[in-house]
C-alpha cells in the first residue's frame, strides 16, 4: 500500500513540475525585438489570391518617399485590391514592419517582416 501512495505522490510532484516548467517557458521565451516598431502606418493591397478563409496578398507602403513591398497571408473575408491594413514600422528603418490589428504598443504587432524594394510575386 505504501508503494502506491509514494507512486501517486511522485506522479503529482512530476505533474506540478511539468506545469511550472511550461508556464516558465511560455512567459520567459524571447521573441523578436519589436520595441522599435512604434509608428502606426497603413499598407495597401496590390494583388491577392483567395485561399478560402484567408488571402495571400502582395502589399505596398510608402514612408517618407520610399516605397516598400511585402507578401503575407491575412485571415479575413473582405479584402480586395486597394484595401488597406495596419502595420507598425520602425521610423529609423522603415523596411522593418509588422502587421497589426490594434496598435503599435505592447502586444500590438506580431510577425515582424523586412520590406522589399521590389514587388514580389504572389
Dump pLDDT digits (tens) for 20-60: 877 766 666 555 667 788 889 999 999 999 888 888 999 99
3-state secondary structure of 27: helix
Q: What is the pLDDT of residue 45?
A: 94
Contacts within 8 Å (CB) and 24+ apart, 50-53: 53/77
Question: From the DSSP assignment, how many helices (H) and strands (E) are in the chain?
Answer: 1, 6
The per-residue pLDDT of the chain, averaged, comes to 82
User: 32 with 70: CB under 8 angstroms?
Assistant: no
Integer Cα distance of 113 and 15 in angstroms: 38
Over residues 77-95, mean pLDDT: 88
Q: What is the pLDDT of residue 28?
A: 60
Q: What is the pLDDT of residue 85?
A: 87
Higher pLDDT among residues 13 and 122, named by residue:
13
Q: What is the pLDDT of residue 76?
A: 74
CB count within 10 Å of CB 95 equals 15
Q: What is the pLDDT of residue 19?
A: 82
Q: What is the pLDDT of residue 27?
A: 63
Q: What is the pLDDT of residue 107?
A: 55
Query: CA 77 → CA 6, 48, 74, 101, 103, distances in Å?
Result: 56, 12, 9, 15, 21
Amino acid at each position: 500500500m505504501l508503494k502506491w501512495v509514494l507512486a501517486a505522490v511522485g506522479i503529482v510532484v512530476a505533474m506540478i513540475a511539468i506545469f511550472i516548467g511550461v508556464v516558465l517557458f511560455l512567459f520567459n521565451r524571447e521573441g523578436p525585438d519589436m520595441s522599435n516598431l512604434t509608428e502606426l502606418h497603413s499598407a495597401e493591397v496590390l494583388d491577392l489570391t483567395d485561399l478560402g478563409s484567408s488571402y495571400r496578398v502582395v502589399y505596398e507602403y510608402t514612408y517618407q518617399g520610399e516605397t516598400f513591398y511585402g507578401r503575407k497571408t491575412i485571415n479575413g473575408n473582405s479584402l480586395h485590391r486597394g484595401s488597406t491594413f495596419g502595420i507598425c514600422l520602425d521610423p529609423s528603418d522603415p523596411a522593418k514592419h509588422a502587421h497589426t490589428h490594434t496598435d503599435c504598443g505592447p502586444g500590438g504587432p506580431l510577425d515582424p517582416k523586412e520590406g522589399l524594394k521590389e514587388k514580389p510575386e504572389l
